[in-house]
Amino acid sequence: MMSVKQFLSTAVICAAVTCQPAQGQDAALFPSLHDYSDEAIRLHGLAALFPDRVLFEQPQLEIHSESRVAARVEDLPRAIKYIRLYRLNEAKSVLAEHQTQAALILDLRFLKSNHTAVDTFSGFATAKQAQTLTTVGTVPADLSISGEASSTVRDFPAIVLCNRETAGPFEAVLHQLQAAGAIIAVGESTAGRTGFYSKASANAWILCGEIRPDSDTSLVGVGFEPRIRLESDAKENYLSYHLYEAGTDILQLLRNEDSSSDSDQAGEADSRSIEPDRILQRGVDIIAALQILQQQPEL
């Protein structure tokens, strides 16, 4: 099938070879075509063929967190440690402190970072194997692409919560960890912000390099896909996460497993209007299932 660019080039050639009226017909069929340069047509054609690799808005991550801490840590039922990350590059010590925690949930929803954190996340591996990312094209010289093998090895995968607002080069590390069985991700596919761009014209930026989990896997515009996918609309996505930021006790965002006692009834009435955080709840359910399997006698 003839491309738009080929069609336009053919139209121009035909107009030059034939008579003057043909040029007038081209102008009628493609009004204001003369307003666009060949470069503009080329860039828009590339953008149509390769989404997210040619952009017409400056590509930058809006990295902003109102939290005064890099991470918050909570205790959940079943001896689960819950860590919500706000600033990935500053949370290394917090993650290192809890990397041997058997039941662990890392909440990366709405997390944006320009870092890979490959050295930080290597501590959550389930095997002593160094992580190395692959680069294609031109990437920032200070971008970390390899981490040392962890001195400790986890017995069980960590649960990672993510959504479409999870964005940055570290998406490639999450892909590696899940492929190796070191994490089980729950939620939505991430943003796919693993590319780097150079300015091509006054209002266009073209992909010049990217970071990948391996040489054959590009996450640009596609993102990292969690093993357990839970789709949600924008309202649920926002509220389920930000109710905690507004001061709601995180236990109120979980399903009430036991509401039979009188002491629980008041709390149940207070939280009746609060919908459980489905993504967080699924993470807790997965850990509960793993704990039950661990207790089963070997056949």
Instruction: Give the pair of three-digit tokens for residue 39.
Output: 């470069």
Q: Three-class SS of residue 178?
A: helix
The Cα 286–Cα 151 span in angstroms is 26
**How high is the pLDDT of residue 31?**
83
Query: 57-67 burial by CB neighbour count: b if 16+ within 10 A, else e?
Result: eeeeeeeeeee
**How high is the pLDDT of residue 272?**
55
Query: 194-209 burial by CB neighbour count: b if 16+ within 10 A, else e?
Result: bbbbeebeeebbbbbb
CATH entry, 71-229, from 1.10.3080.10, 2.40.50.140, 3.40.50.970, 3.90.226.10:
3.90.226.10
Instruction: Give the pair of three-digit tokens for residue 16.
Output: 């030059």
Closest CA to 106 of 145, 137, 80: 80
**Predicted TM-score of the model (pTM):** 0.84
Taking the domains of the chain in order of start, what are their residue ranges?
A: 4-51, 71-229
**How high is the pLDDT of residue 15?**
37
**How high is the pLDDT of residue 50?**
93
pLDDT along the chain (299 residues), means of 10: 45 38 59 85 92 92 83 97 95 92 96 93 77 94 85 84 97 95 96 96 92 97 97 91 94 78 50 83 97 77
- Check: CB of residue 290 under 8 Å from CB of residue 78: no
**How high is the pLDDT of residue 8?**
41
